């Protein structure tokens, strides 16, 4: 099977390039293929004619999206449409990485794939609009929503916490936002399985279990053997430009429907720490 990975130099892209064996994998970083350039995307996909395209390229700076909405929509929505149209012409299947931020966070039970989109941030809107446009352009595509992504080789929440904890005796971390931390290695392995199973439709892909950012940070510090005190604070006390969902736990029912399950996030964190400092 020939597979094109767009966004191969990102946090997830690196994990996909490392984990994917046994198939013909071709990775493209953003400098190789800017997905905003429809003709370039069409040329590359047309020449390669892959069976699958994994679209992991995105503008993921949630606060940056609030300041640069034109860029957010150009990359996350219009860029995704460019890839979908190229996939359609080439007869390729597409898996698109989306986000828990397509939801408003007002539920108190895990979000199912059938729940209504109601994004509260520019980033969330750009992903939600991409989902709608992709399902119109390529109804058989697969949309893999994930959340709270972390992994080796780039900026992520555990990396930030570990760096701060090395220099500060106390860390204040938000305790009123709840979600599912997801390890890039586990997400990559799930994506590989979804492609091999010919998946379509919307699938929620995240590590099992949920927590608040405060609980996640406390576990990171503890697992790393550090003595930094982690204190819970409210979202209001740590105001950020982009609104975050208070509750964005994703149900794993859709993933189980494809015969796939991921380990609990505590286990994933331990493996991340080993990967970070082998």
**From the CB of residue 207, how many other CB atoms can be counted at a distance below 10 Å?**
26
Structure tokens at 49: 């004619």
CA angle 50, 79, 111 (to 5 degrees): 90
d(C-alpha 143, C-alpha 137), whole Å: 13
Q: Rg of the chain over CA atoms, in angstroms? A: 18
Tell me the C-alpha to C-alpha distance, in Å, between residue 199 and each of 1, 22, 48, 85, 123: 15, 19, 21, 19, 25
Could you say which of 101, 111, 123, 247 is catalytic? 123
* Residues in contact with 239: Cβ distance below 8 Å, sequence separation at least 6, in sequence order: none
Is 101 tagged catalytic?
A: no
* Residue 35 near residue 6 (C-beta atoms within 8 A): yes
DSSP class per residue in 69-101: HHHHHIIIIIIHHHHHHHHHHHT-EEEEEEEGG
Structure tokens at 222: 């503890």
Catalytic residues: 123
């Amino acid at each position: 099977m020939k597979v094109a990975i767009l966004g191969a130099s990102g946090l997830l892209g690196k994990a996909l390039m490392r984990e994917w064996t046994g198939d013909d994998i071709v990775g493209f970083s953003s400098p190789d293929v800017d997905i905003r350039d429809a003709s370039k995307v069409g040329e590359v996909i047309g020449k390669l004619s892959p069976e699958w395209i994994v679209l992991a390229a995105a503008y993921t700076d949630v606060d940056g999206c609030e300041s640069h909405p034109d860029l957010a929509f150009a990359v996350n929505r219009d860029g995704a449409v460019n890839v979908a149209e190229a996939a359609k012409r080439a007869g390729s299947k597409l898996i698109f990485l989306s986000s828990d931020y397509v939801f408003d966070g007002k539920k108190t039970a895990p979000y199912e794939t059938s729940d209504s989109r109601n994004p509260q941030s520019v980033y969330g809107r750009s992903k939600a609009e991409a989902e709608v446009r992709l399902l119109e352009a390529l109804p058989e595509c697969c949309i893999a929503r994930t959340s709270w992504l972390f992994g080796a080789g780039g900026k992520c929440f555990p990396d930030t916490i570990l760096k701060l904890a090395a220099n500060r005796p106390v860390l204040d971390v938000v305790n009123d936002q709840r979600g599912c931390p997801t390890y890039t290695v586990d997400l990559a392995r799930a994506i590989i399985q979804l492609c091999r199973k010919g998946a379509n439709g919307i699938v929620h892909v995240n590590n099992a279990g949920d927590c608040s950012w405060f609980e996640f940070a406390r576990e990171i510090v503890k697992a790393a053997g550090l003595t930094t005190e982690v204190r819970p604070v409210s979202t209001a006390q740590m105001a950020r430009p982009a609104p975050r969902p208070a509750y964005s736990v994703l149900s794993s029912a859709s993933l189980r429907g494809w015969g796939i399950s991921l380990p609990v996030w505590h286990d994933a964190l331990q493996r991340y720490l080993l990967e970070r400092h082998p």
